[in-house]
Amino acid sequence: MNSIRPKNLDLSTIELPLPAKASIIHRVSGFILFFAVAFMLSALAASLESAESFAGLKAAFDNGLVKFIAWGILSALGYHFVAGIKHLLMDMGIGETKESGRTGAMITLVAGLIVIVLAGVWVW
Amino acid sequence: MVASVTNLGRSGLYDWVIQRLTAVILALYTLFLVGFVAASPDLQFAQWQGLFAQTWMKVFSLAALMSICGHAWVGMWTISTDYLKNAGVRFLFQLVCAGFLFVYLVWGIDILWSV
């Protein structure tokens, strides 16, 4: 490879193509989910400990902040799920060309958005 | 080839397989739990606890918990090797991630087997 070819790795000057946007959101959502597991395990523990703690958890969902955090986690999970499906499809050789990759990224972003809206409707 | 001592499967190919296998388990678990909760609008404690009291649900949940640990390790490892160029900082970040996942695993097993 030509080692003196011009390089520009300054991301702030690059307009990311659509598949790159779909990919970086997948990564960011995964990073968020890493920490979200702590919230999910807390909720699971409260939901299973006793009838009182189960009722307490249900009551906690009346709080706007709790709803928002739950929506945030479901959104990250929903997008990560959709983008993960795209990954698995691409592993099977589906949507690997430049054009179909763009289409796949578009479908992923739109489907992700739909899941995020649905999660919001579910929580509120 | 440079031998890496911090990636989960000791090779990119193993990590690739681990990432996919755990992803499928987590996808199935997510679909099941979301489906269960969505199908029970007035979910009560007895029904919820009854689900997690079943042995198959404990096994399914443990599989998901272990999958989280494997999947998140590969993911966070990839992030750390992409962005953290300083070996000391990268190792510290990986150590913190491993600490989180170990706590998740022990905590999760404790929750599941307290039912």
What HEC string does B5-22 produce?
CCCCCCCHHHHHHHHHHH
pLDDT, tens only, B25-68: 999 999 999 999 999 989 999 999 999 999 999 999 999 999 99
Residue B9: predicted pLDDT? 81
CB–CB contact B48 A55 (8 Å) = no
Residue among A41, A47, A88 whose CB faces B108 most closely: A41
Helix (H) / strand (E) element for A1: namely: none
CA dist., res. A12 & res. B72, Å (int): 28
A49 vs B contacts (CB less than 8 Å)? 114
Map out the domains of chain A as residue ranges.
17-123
pTM of the model: 0.92
Structural domains in chain B? Answer: 12-113 (1.20.1300.10)
Q: Evaluate whether B82 touches B68 at the Cβ level (below 8 Å).
A: no
ipTM greater than cut 0.90: yes
CB–CB contact B45 A38 (8 Å) = no
In the predicted model, is pLDDT for residue B1 greater than 60? Answer: no
CATH 1.20.1300.10 corresponds to the domain A17-123: yes
Instruction: Looking at the complex, report in whole angstroms how far the Cα of residue B29 sits from the nearest Cα belonging to chain A.
Output: 11
CA dist., res. A88 & res. A26, Å (int): 13
Instruction: Looking at the complex, report in whole angstroms how far the Cα of residue A48 sits from the nearest Cα belonging to chain B.
Output: 6
Instruction: Looking at the complex, report in whole angstroms how far the Cα of residue A2 sits from the nearest Cα belonging to chain B.
Output: 22
